[in-house]
Amino acid sequence: MNRYIIKKTLFSILTLFIVVTLVFFMLRAIPGGPFTREKPLPEATRERLEEAYGLNEPLINQYFTYMGNLLTGDLGPSFRKPAYSVNELLATGIPNTAKIGFIAVIFIIFLGIPLGVISALKSNTAVDYGVMIIATVGITVPSFVIGSLFILLAQNVKWIPVGGLSTPISYVGPVVALAGYSLAFVTRLTRSSMMEVLRQDYIRTARANGLSESKVIFKHALKNSLIPVITYIGPMIAAIMTGSFVVEKIFYINGIGEYFTESIGNRDYTLVIGVTLFYAVFYIIMVLLVDIAYSVIDPRIRLSK
Amino acid sequence: MDKNKFVFLDSEQKLDKEQTRKSLTYWHDVWRRLKKNHLAIVGLVGVVIVILFATIGPMINPYKYNRQYLDYKNIPPLLTVYKLGDDIHVFLSEMNQLILVSEDGKLLETFSLAEADKDFDAKTYTYRLFDEENVEVAVVMVDFAYQTDPLKRVEGIRYSFTYEDVEYKTPIGKVWNKTFILGSDKNGRDMLARLMYGTGISLVIAFVAAVINFFIGVIYGSISGFFGKNTDIIMMRIVDIINSIPLLLYVILLMVVLKDSWFEINVLNKLFGTGGLGTIIITLISVYWVGMARLVRAQVLSLKEQEYVLAAKTMGVRNYKIISKHLIPNALGPIIVTLAMMIPTAVFTEAFLSFIGLGISAPRASLGSLANDGASFMQTYPYQLVIPAVTIAFMMLAFNFLGDGLRDALDPRLRKG
């Protein structure tokens, strides 16, 4: 078990290393640099700027310098926001992104799973159809459409602010837009997995032994039916964080997603790598946690490893 | 037993009626199961409608997607028509353009508005209509003071029309726009034509990406699964690494890297034309083949233990023949399901990219870029966002229903619910 976790962790670090390298060289392949503007800077100014940031050195040297700093946790200065380091920018952006992301995830787990269970228990009734219709709509309508419609609503209604995160009510739009797809997906996944489990022999045995219905469902069925849901939820949490930049753009939220789109446009190399790294670390940790959670929940998996 | 109770059969009935039924092939069986699934059929019909809309639609629709009618910008599908005098019907657009329309909603002509006719003190505009010989045939004064003047504001209307000294305050009603059925956009292009074109582009992107994905995924996955050992370990580690990068991030980075690069200008634009179509396809392919490769590998891993593979090997069949004749055909069910699900994913991702401004660029259009254009004017012209958004949702719904149905039909073991 421990060996398994250590192996996985080492592999994750290797992956991160490759991600950083890949992004570093990919960015340098983009035409234009951080100091190319529509109105060109004077040659001397540009050269001095590039010298100050070490951009005039050979690419490979820049790479090693960057990696060296990275090991100490320093993501470097932002090229386009000279007063700030990337670490500082991330520190201001992450809380906003994390807030809406966290609420969305809570929303998905505590609404999606119960809805799926109810739908499975009452399968082929009006309740089931109702839940499934809403879930299907959730899967088919893109988040930017939900977001835009919400903004439209906010512009016509006085008590919803149009953007930002100033009041509690202003969280509703971003969270709904962010959670929509995954909420619908989790509901559908829980439903189908629950129905699968309810057909198993051990459920019949449990019922035949005279267990109360609630015990059958919560103790035997739910636990087993959550396995595929957990597999989905891990990467989903990371995806919700990464998927947030459309939502942040629509709702004018100063989050990390906004930095990402902005920094790519500005060729702010260090900021792009910083944000990518944040997402990648987050994603990899989530996948790792799922792997571990998996082997805890389902002993069959541990045995086969 | 009494012998007379028995009767002879006539010769026709004599033979034991052979139970003949045409044997069903796998695909017949799939089709039979698919037909029984109503939702899947609804999905199939929806997909066919979308495809016909994008292919035959532009042939029927008289307007071209990139033709600009500068006289008619931002005209909505529903016109609020005012009847002035006995025979003049007019519509005032949100851009304060007065248009002469027919009674049933055809756009006929625009009124001209000279700078001198704008009275900013009284807040009135005087529009004039000229015929071919430049003779003035109608003069209409629009009074905008209803939005500002405290006395007039109580009436709750936005403007009134005065024609031949009679003031008209109420419209005769909403009339469907017969010239541009779905309205026109900010450059005066027909929304219907753009929608058809955009749907087509989205479909092309999705189909090309799905098909190329299919080939890469199947080749990669089957090699990895079939040869096993070190080949498998190395190939799957590569897949794992790609998989542990959040795909959307990677897609965006790739889009930026490819944009205006040598590769785009010299290869992609020649293959797919300008406007970023090729770039999106390449990006989608380079990211999403991973899922297909994993699936094929898993299938091949379990299938290669089957006796018929052993038999083929003993008979000396070459490896690539075993893969192409035995393994892949048997794994085709799940592969097709993944392929069917790949299409809505691609449409979604493309829409997403276009929405943040990285996708298809004008004058070409995709559903995502249409939605993006519409979103910026959604307060004044909500139809410009709603129309592409509804189309995306319809497409997603159709492909999802069909995909679910195909999964149930192709592999009953995977049947859900």
Mean pLDDT of A19-48: 73
- C-beta atoms of A30 and B256 within 8 A: yes
Highest mean pLDDT among A169-183, A230-244, A246-260: A169-183
Is any Cβ of chain A less than 8 angstroms from the Cβ of B324?
no
Partners of B348 on chain A (C-beta within 8 Å) are 142
| pLDDT band with cut points at 50, 70 and 90 for residue A213 | confident
Q: Render pLDDT for A106-124 as a digit per residue (tens, 0 to 9).
A: 989 999 899 999 888 887 7
Q: Which of B246, B396, B397 sits opposite A280 (nearest CB)?
A: B246
Partners of B352 on chain A (C-beta within 8 Å) are 142, 144, 246
Tell me how many residue pairs between chain A and chain B have CB atoms under 8 A apart. Answer: 111
Amino acid at A208: A
Measured CA angle at B68 (ends B64, B72), to 5 deg: 115
In eight-state DSSP terms, residue B61 is S
Partners of A191 on chain B (C-beta within 8 Å) are 417
Mean pLDDT of B176-191: 82
Contacts of A228 (CB under 8 A, 6+ apart): A189, A193
> CA dist A19 to A168, B18, B325, Å?
37, 67, 38
At residue B371, does pLDDT exceed 80? yes
At residue A58, does pLDDT exceed 80? no
Q: Which of A14, A136, A283 sits opposite B397 (nearest CB)?
A: A136
Mean pLDDT of A218-236: 81
In percent, how much of chain B has pLDDT > 70? 94
Mean pLDDT of B338-344: 82
Rounded Cα distance, B404 and B272, in Å: 31
Q: Quick one: closest CA in B to A272, which residue?
A: B253
Q: Quick one: closest CA in A to B260, which residue?
A: A31
At residue B45, does pLDDT exceed 90? yes
- C-beta atoms of A242 and B241 within 8 A: no
Domains and CATH numbers, chain B: 78-176 (no CATH), 191-414 (1.10.3720.10)
At residue A167, does pLDDT exceed 50? yes
Residue A103 neighbours by CB distance under 10 Å = 16
Q: Render pLDDT for B231-244 as a digit per residue (tens, 0 to 9).
A: 888 888 888 777 76
Q: What sign results for the dihedral spanned by CA atoms A154, A159, A163, A165?
A: negative
CA distance A40 to chain B (A): 19
pTM: 0.79
At residue A302, does pLDDT exceed 60? no
Amino acid A303: pLDDT: 46
* 250-289 of B, contacting A, C-beta below 8 A: 252-254, 256-257, 259-261
- C-beta atoms of B240 and A15 within 8 A: yes
Contact (Cβ atoms closer than 8 angstroms) between residue B119 and residue B126? yes
CA end-to-end distance (rounded Å), chain B: 56
ipTM over 0.90: no
CA distance A81 to chain B (A): 20
| pLDDT band with cut points at 50, 70 and 90 for residue B26 | confident
Q: Which of B356, B378, B417 sits opposite A261 (nearest CB)?
A: B356
> CA dist A161 to A92, B270, B299, Å?
22, 47, 51
